């Protein structure tokens, strides 16, 4: 059946419900370049303004999902569970988590993204390991998964092509911030991975895309609803992103911190989230109360061994995991110091993320190259006591001009006060079903 793009846009503009066949036609025609970018951006803006109801959203997500290849791992006889984060600063949790869970007998077909705005991306971080390739076809994806219970890749060209096109368009047309568009974009990609279960880490706070708890809750509920309707057991955890996670923000330095977690010497917050998320992923895979099993996989080295095996399978140099000092590091080093004595009352994730990106650890334009050795090491986080002149952060960079332009902005991330602030919990809420 054929529709008119202009008529469908008009329906959404006038707050009417889109017919299911119309949604399927629109997404298919857009994927085949038969609906123009300007028409799809008008539709995206109408959705930003007027939303999608539950049925429209289910149909929209299904149409995106089936715009390309959908993987099927039903012949792999263990549960297939993935985790997705909505993005944060210093959020390297997937890197220790995926091998840890795989070492405990769960298959993790993880498809990750690149850095977006002020947030880093798992693929960019993994590529700090010499030779590590995340661009693999679906045959290699399957063979690495079968051999190691784990694969860490980017989305192939043939999966969810509708989202690949639409996401670029939304980025350039001011239509990213929309709960139905974000949730269908994320869930269409996750549901194409052939999963039995999915853990969603929905971040909230200054460094998150969802700045308020209310928005984070709505996004989490919406995505859990889509997952459950598709038969994939889905749990969302709403977690705090007011300050960066861990002490390292960048790429290679975040790999080093992830290795430290798997060596049992990682920072408390990253270790805690890794173990909590691992416990939920194992629960989704039918293994309840598995925290001791996860701790044992760290203590006996099997999780770290899994990361090395999988790095090797992706063409990466495992000696960098044995010896993280071999990871790339930028040549210049400077510090940010405390302007006064007192307690750290602010360590703003957004400011740290933006400055780290602009120093070269992220992309300001799509075509920019990542500098994997650029990064910020944080020495003082919320609630820590400091004395005037103490280092708050050490910064590694390659371009002194960029450093001059970022120094004050990065320093503005910290505020020092007389009172120790109360700290919010890392995990704020768990959502198991869309009605919660």
Interface positions with ligand URA (CB under 6 A): 167, 176, 181-182, 185-186
Active site residues: 84, 163, 170, 185, 189
247 SS3 class: coil
Residues in the chain: 436
Let me know: does 12 contact 53? Beta carbons within 8 Å. no
Residues 271 and 12: their CA atoms lie apart, in Å, by 45
b or e along 256-278 (b: 16 or more beta carbons within 10 Å of the residue's beta carbon)? bbbbbbbeeebbebbbebbbbbb
Radius of gyration, CA atoms only, the chain: 22
Which regions of 34-126 does DSSP assign to beta strands (E)? 81-85, 108-112
Name which of 66 and 271 has its Cβ closer to ligand URA: 66
Name which of 176 and 287 has its Cβ closer to ligand URA: 176
Q: How far is the CB of 403 from ligand URA (least distance, A)?
A: 29
Name which of 132 and 167 has its Cβ closer to ligand URA: 167
Name which of 23 and 378 has its Cβ closer to ligand URA: 23
Residues 381 and 384: their CA atoms lie apart, in Å, by 6
Name which of 203 and 396 has its Cβ closer to ligand URA: 203
Task: Return the structure tokens found at 416.
Answer: 């020092």
Give residue number: closest CB to ligand URA: 185
Residues 293 and 103: their CA atoms lie apart, in Å, by 10
Residues 336 and 57: their CA atoms lie apart, in Å, by 46
Q: How far is the CB of 349 from ligand URA (least distance, A)?
A: 16
Residues 151 and 98: their CA atoms lie apart, in Å, by 9
Name which of 188 and 406 has its Cβ closer to ligand URA: 188
Name which of 160 and 382 has its Cβ closer to ligand URA: 160
Tell me 399's DSSP state: -
Strand pairing partners for 334?
395
Three-state secondary structure of 347-378 = ECHHHHHHHHHHHHHCCCCCCCCCCCCCEEEE
Q: How far is the CB of 163 from ligand URA (least distance, A)?
A: 7
Q: How far is the CB of 185 from ligand URA (least distance, A)?
A: 3
Q: How far is the CB of 68 from ligand URA (least distance, A)?
A: 15
Residues 71 and 137: their CA atoms lie apart, in Å, by 12
Q: How far is the CB of 58 from ligand URA (least distance, A)?
A: 17
Task: Return the structure tokens found at 276.
Answer: 């909590």
Let me know: does 316 contact 305? Beta carbons within 8 Å. no
197-204/81-85 β-pairing: parallel
Task: Return the structure tokens found at 173.
Answer: 């047309």
The pair phi, psi for residue 142, each rounded to 5°, is -65, -45
Residue 365: HSE in the Cβ half-sphere, 13 Å Cα cutoff: 2
Question: CA quadruple 284, 287, 290, 293: dihedral positive or negative?
Answer: negative
233-240/427-431 β-pairing: antiparallel
Tell me 88's DSSP state: -
Task: Return the structure tokens found at 417.
Answer: 């006060």
Q: How far is the CB of 278 from ligand URA (least distance, A)?
A: 23
Name which of 167 and 277 has its Cβ closer to ligand URA: 167
Q: How far is the CB of 414 from ligand URA (least distance, A)?
A: 28
Q: How far is the CB of 202 from ligand URA (least distance, A)?
A: 11
């Amino acid at each position: 059946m054929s529709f008119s793009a202009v008529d469908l846009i008009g329906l959404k503009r006038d707050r009417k419900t889109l017919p299911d066949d119309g949604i399927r036609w629109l997404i298919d025609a857009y994927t085949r370049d038969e609906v123009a970018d300007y028409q799809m951006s008008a539709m995206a803006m109408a959705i930003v303004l007027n939303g999608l109801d539950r049925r429209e959203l289910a149909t929209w997500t299904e149409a995106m999902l089936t715009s390309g290849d959908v993987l099927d791992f039903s012949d792999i006889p263990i549960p297939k569970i993935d985790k997705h984060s909505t993005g944060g600063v210093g959020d390297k949790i997937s890197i220790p988590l995926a091998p840890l869970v795989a070492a405990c007998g769960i298959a993790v077909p993880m498809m990750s993204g690149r850095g977006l705005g002020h947030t880093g991306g798992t693929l960019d971080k993994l590529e700090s390991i010499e030779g590590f390739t995340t661009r693999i076809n679906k045959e290699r994806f399957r063979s690495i998964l079968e051999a190691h219970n784990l694969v860490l890749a980017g989305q192939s060209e043939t999966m969810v092509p509708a989202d690949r096109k639409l996401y670029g368009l939304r980025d350039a047309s001011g239509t990213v911030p929309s709960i139905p568009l974000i949730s269908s974009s994320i869930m269409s990609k996750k549901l194409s991975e052939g999963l039995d279960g999915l853990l969603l880490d929905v971040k909230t706070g200054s460094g998150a895309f969802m700045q308020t708890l209310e928005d984070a809750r709505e996004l989490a509920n919406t995505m859990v609803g889509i997952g459950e309707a598709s038969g994939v057991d889905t749990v969302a955890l709403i977690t705090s992103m007011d300050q960066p996670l861990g002490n390292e923000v960048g790429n290679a330095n975040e790999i080093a911190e992830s290795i430290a977690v798997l060596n049992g010497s990682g920072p408390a917050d990253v270790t805690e989230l890794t173990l909590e998320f691992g416990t939920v992923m194992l629960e989704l895979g039918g293994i309840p109360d598995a925290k001791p099993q996860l701790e044992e996989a760290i203590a006996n080295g099997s999780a770290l061994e899994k990361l090395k095996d999988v790095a090797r399978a992706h063409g990466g140099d495992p000696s960098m995991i044995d010896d993280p000092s071999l990871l790339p590091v930028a040549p210049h080093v400077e510090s940010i110091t405390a302007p006064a004595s007192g307690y750290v009352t602010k360590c703003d994730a957004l400011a740290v993320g933006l400055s780290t990106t602009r120093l070269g650890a992220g992309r300001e334009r799509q075509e920019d190259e990542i500098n994997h050795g650029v990064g910020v090491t944080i020495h003082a986080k919320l609630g820590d006591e400091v004395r005037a002149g103490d280092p708050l952060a050490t910064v590694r960079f390659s371009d002194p001009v960029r450093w001059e332009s970022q120094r004050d902005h990065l320093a503005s991330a910290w505020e020092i006060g007389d009172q120790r602030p109360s700290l919010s919990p890392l995990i704020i809420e768990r959502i198991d079903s869309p009605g919660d």
